[in-house]
């Protein structure tokens, strides 16, 4: 993981707009027991994608500080290489298995 400054806002602009729509529709959020559900991501190159950080599902609005760019991954070793301020990405590899 490379912890860095916030991602460029152009990188997450469309993703953030979709995240807002899904949050408003109740498809991203936190249940009454405090369990969050659903991250959102978008792939923009073969092995790169931008994803919301873990524990952001309860937040009404996100900023560039709440996203991370995954620049590489190894499914067999369950590792991610990331750039950005939000390093908690626990569910990121699960959908790829």
Give the ranges where 25-79 is alpha helix by DSSP (H). none
Q: Does some domain include residue 4?
A: no
Half-sphere exposure of 71 (CA within 13 A, CB side): 9
Whether 30 is covered by a domain: the verdict is: yes
Boundaries of domain holding 89: 9-96
Q: Is residue 69 part of a domain?
A: yes
For residue range 44-89, what is the model confidence (pLDDT) as tens digits? Answer: 788 788 888 878 888 999 988 888 888 888 888 888 888 887 655 5
Q: Is 2 domain-assigned?
A: no
In a domain, 48, yes or no: yes
Confidence of residue 93 (pLDDT cuts 50, 70, 90): low
Which one has a higher pLDDT value, 30 or 45?
30
Determine the Cα–Cα distance for residues 97 and 94; give it in Å rounded to an integer.
Answer: 6
Q: How many residues does the chain have?
A: 97
In a domain, residue 3? The reply is: no
Q: Are 88 and 2 a contacting pair, CB within 8 Å? A: no
Total tally of structural domains belonging to the chain: 1
């Amino acid at each position: 993981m490379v912890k860095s400054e916030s991602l460029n806002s152009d990188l997450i602009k469309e993703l953030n707009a979709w995240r807002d729509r899904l949050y408003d529709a109740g498809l991203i959020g936190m249940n009454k027991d405090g369990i969050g559900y659903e991250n959102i991501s978008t792939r923009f190159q073969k092995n790169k994608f931008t994803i919301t950080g873990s524990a952001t599902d309860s937040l009404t609005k996100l900023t560039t500080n709440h996203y991370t760019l995954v620049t590489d991954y190894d499914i067999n070793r369950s590792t991610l290489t990331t750039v950005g301020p939000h390093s908690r990405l626990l569910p990121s590899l699960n959908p790829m298995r």
